Amino acid sequence: MRLLLDTHALLWWLDDDPRLEQSAADAIAGAEFVAVSAASAWEIGIKQSIGTLSGPDDLPAELATNGFTELPVTVAHALAAGGLPPHHADPFDRMLVAQSRMEGLTLVTRDDRLVDYGIAHLRA
């Protein structure tokens, strides 16, 4: 299975948080490929800087330790995200939807509004 982690799924995984569904945790642990979008790192960085989130101090090291692949945001991803129907207003989530579609990845998320985009998903 090839996965893309939504920001909350990533943070729950890194914190061994019980909110992460066991089926999602098992899928992440057994996946052949797990990606984390640069958009998630951007979101984490913004929220840490304004004090609304405590997250990992060294995200790149955490990704490497867990064997996760960094997924850059490309111009094609940005154009696809901008062209999505307005089911969801959050630009970070829209980017994850676009990347999931374009890269053929299953999005691990708890956000039910993202399911409206018809993407492959796994409940976080």
H-helix segments, the chain? 7-15, 22-30, 38-49, 59-66, 75-82, 91-103
Q: pLDDT tens digits, residue range 42-82?
A: 999 999 999 999 889 899 999 999 999 999 999 999 999 99
Q: Would you state the structure tokens that stand for residue 39, as one six-digit string?
A: 């958009």
Q: How confident is the model at residue 30 (pLDDT cuts 50, 70, 90)?
A: very high
Interatomic CA distance for residues 38 and 115, integer angstroms? 21
Domain boundaries, the chain: 2-112
pLDDT, tens digit, 9 for 90 and up, residues 78-117: 999 999 998 889 999 999 999 999 999 999 999 999 999 9
CATH 2.60.34.10 fits 2-112, yes or no: no
